[in-house]
Amino acid sequence: MKNNSKIIEVDGAKFIRIPLKTKILTTGDDILSVVQDSIRDKIKENDVITISESPLAITQGRAIPINELKIGWLAKFLWRFVSKVDYGIGLRSPESMQCAIDECGSLRVLFAAIIGGLGRFLGRRGKGDFYRLAGKQTALIDAATTSPVPPYENCVIKGPRYPEKVSQMIKEETGFECCVMDINDIGGCWMIGGSTGINKHFMEKVMEDNPQGQGDELTPICLVRKVL
């Protein structure tokens, strides 16, 4: 759940998370400029910049309107076998499954689905065989209706490209450590890319309660600051 206090204790120290509001981002936005404008006069020494993965992906042109997708037979077949989960639709729709196939290739996705199905048959539920074999990008796909922000409520949003390189570029341009986070409201928190000085374990603990939220807050940038 979103933490309204914005303060969290990690390994005996307290940190405040400061979400920064922006306009609705589009493919016309440059993420570096968005970050620089957002942190101006707000960032302090030793702060860490975090970026939400979906808004970053949007600036990279990775939000695909569902009416532009051509759904093939494989996507129409495979999506029905995706398990229902509490945190969202994921690939359990023909549209998001098609995006996974477009991203990773039909043979790879089909192979991953077969091995994943065999794994579940053998009792390996929850082991993530499909996503491990199909590739990281399949796990980052957000189905249509995941975002409540127009016009993206009718888009499948693929995972962002090169989150490590983007994070490192922002560090080099701003002087502050940076990372890209994939977080949901029911306890899922993953750092999918970070600059060279980032501690992945720490970032996943300090952001695990989703202080930015994932609704219409329009806070894709967040500062993490140690409370002295």
Question: One digit per residue, pLDDT tens: the chain, 228 residues?
Answer: 444 568 999 999 999 999 999 999 999 999 999 999 999 999 999 999 999 999 999 999 999 999 999 999 999 999 888 766 655 677 889 999 999 999 999 999 999 888 888 877 677 765 577 888 888 888 899 988 888 888 999 999 999 999 999 999 999 999 999 999 998 755 578 999 999 999 999 999 999 988 887 666 789 999 999 997
The b-or-e profile of 151-169 (16+ CB within 10 A means b, else e) is ebeebbbbbbeebeebbbb
Whole-model pTM: value is 0.88
- The CATH code for residues 7-53+161-226 is 3.30.1330.100
What are the φ/ψ torsions at residue 8 (nearest 5 degrees)?
A: -140, 150
C-alpha span between 96 and 201 (Å, rounded)? 29
| Domain residue spans of the chain | 7-53+161-226, 63-157
Six token digits for residue 171: 């560090």
Distance CA 130, CA 135 (A): 8
Which tokens is 1 given? 């759940």
